[in-house]
């Protein structure tokens, strides 16, 4: 079809020598469908143009004759991390330097403020008397604000996501950016979630381990429900959570076997039976949220596949806290959406390495 178009164009220009070649070129470039198979002829005069079109129509090479397959526009997915990428002073320089980021942070602070007894700017800037980011009910709302504001910043530069995915609490930011949750509802969810976690601090722990889920299950079967897979981040990267004594035992076993493991600075066994006391309060306090259909595909780390944001009610957000984070499955599912690039929207890279391992 491309060669037939070149032949027809050559005949038309040959039959109409009065045509302005620049006007014809402008119409060809801007006035027709941008189909993927394309050809171009670079020529300084009409005779060379007609000869180039003859060669293009015949499928023959020639000076100034170009033929190729155009790339489609790149499709980007925004990836929102859970806890772990925070650091003292995060976002403050960007807050001062970038008006779009500052505007988004201000909106997030206003959405969070009715639910908090501290101010976002004071926490991030380390103001005297401000609570520490080490508090789970402080760090999670703060990270939510940073993630949402980074997404708004990318969009201010024209980078529009074709899909979103969020790891653990990151799914709250993902649902908002996908259009499936208002900023007010998303802020409320992250505050309620983090407060309920703060109530059960001190009774559990978490550990990263370089094993597959199957390999871990074989080594931890004797511990029954004392240890759970909290997050399956890649085919060979897990986070496990549970009783501190059980984690101590596993850590000794892994060291003896030469298996890489690292305790995470957490006294809450997230994504395990430890969080079940939070269910009643979460269902009650989030009963009035208004989920809606989003404008972007969201790949949920609760199900490991594409999910409808309109179905993300209070029960979903409890499952988001209780069930294993299926990040690797969600990344695999996104490959079917022809995503070309992943952008992690957090203060420090946490998920890029396991995403690359999975891909």
- Tell me the pTM: 0.82
DSSP 109-134: HHHHGGG-SS-HHHHHTT-TTPPPTT
pLDDT tens-digit readout, 206-215: 999 999 999 9
DSSP 198-213: HHTTTS-EEEEESS-H
Average the pLDDT over 45-51 and give the result.
94
pLDDT at position 335? 87
CA nearest 284: which of 246, 242, 318, 243? 318
DSSP 10-23: HHHHHH-TTS-HHH
Sign of CA dihedral 84, 85, 87, 89: negative
pLDDT tens-digit readout, 95-126: 999 999 999 999 999 999 999 999 999 999 99
pLDDT band at 338 (very low <50, low <70, confident <90, very high): confident
Beta bridge partners of 231: 239, 325
Mean pLDDT score of the chain: 95
For the chain, the distance separating the N- and C-terminal CA atoms, rounded to the nearest angstrom, is 36
Instruction: Find how far residue 194's CA is from the centre of its chain.
Output: 21
CA gap 242, 333 in Å, rounded? 28
pLDDT band at 149 (very low <50, low <70, confident <90, very high): very high
Other beta carbons within 10 Å of 154: 17
pLDDT at position 117? 94
pLDDT at position 261? 95
pLDDT band at 72 (very low <50, low <70, confident <90, very high): confident
pLDDT band at 225 (very low <50, low <70, confident <90, very high): confident
pLDDT at position 130? 96
pLDDT at position 275? 95
Residue 355 has pLDDT above 90, yes or no: yes
Residue 74 has pLDDT above 90, yes or no: no
pLDDT tens-digit readout, 230-254: 999 999 999 999 999 999 999 999 9
């Amino acid at each position: 079809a491309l060669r037939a178009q070149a032949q027809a164009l050559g005949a038309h220009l040959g039959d109409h020598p009065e045509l302005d070649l620049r006007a014809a070129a402008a119409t060809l470039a801007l006035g027709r469908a941008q189909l993927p198979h394309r050809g171009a002829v670079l020529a300084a005069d009409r005779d060379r143009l007609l000869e180039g079109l003859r060669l293009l129509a015949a499928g023959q090479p020639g000076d100034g004759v170009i033929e190729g397959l155009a790339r489609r526009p790149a499709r980007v997915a925004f990836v929102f991390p859970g806890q772990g990428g925070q650091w003292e002073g995060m976002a403050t320089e960007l807050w001062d330097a970038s008006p779009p980021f500052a505007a988004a942070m201000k909106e997030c602070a206003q959405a969070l403020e009715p639910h908090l007894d501290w101010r976002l700017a004071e926490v991030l800037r380390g103001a005297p008397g401000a609570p520490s980011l080490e508090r789970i009910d402080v760090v999670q709302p703060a990270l939510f604000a940073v993630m949402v504001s980074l997404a708004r910043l990318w969009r201010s530069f024209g980078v529009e996501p074709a899909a979103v995915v969020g790891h653990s609490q990151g799914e709250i930011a993902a649902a908002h950016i996908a259009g499936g949750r208002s900023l007010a509802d998303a802020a409320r969810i992250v505050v309620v979630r983090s407060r309920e976690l703060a109530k059960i601090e001190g009774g559990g722990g978490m550990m990263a381990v370089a094993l597959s889920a199957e390999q871990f299950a074989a080594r931890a079967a004797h511990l029954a429900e004392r240890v759970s897979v909290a997050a399956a981040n890649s085919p060979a990267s897990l986070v496990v959570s549970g009783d501190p004594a059980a984690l101590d035992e596993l850590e000794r076993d892994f060291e003896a076997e030469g298996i890489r493991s690292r305790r995470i600075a957490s006294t809450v066994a997230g994504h395990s039976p430890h969080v079940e006391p939070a269910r009643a309060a979460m269902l009650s306090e989030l009963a009035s949220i208004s989920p809606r259909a989003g404008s972007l595909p969201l790949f949920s780390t609760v199900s490991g596949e594409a999910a409808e944001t309109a179905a993300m009610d209070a029960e979903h957000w409890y499952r988001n806290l209780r069930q294993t984070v299926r990040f690797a499955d969600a990344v695999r599912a996104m490959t079917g959406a022809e995503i070309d690039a992943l952008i992690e929207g957090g203060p420090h890279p946490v998920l890029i390495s396991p995403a690359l391992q999975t891909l």
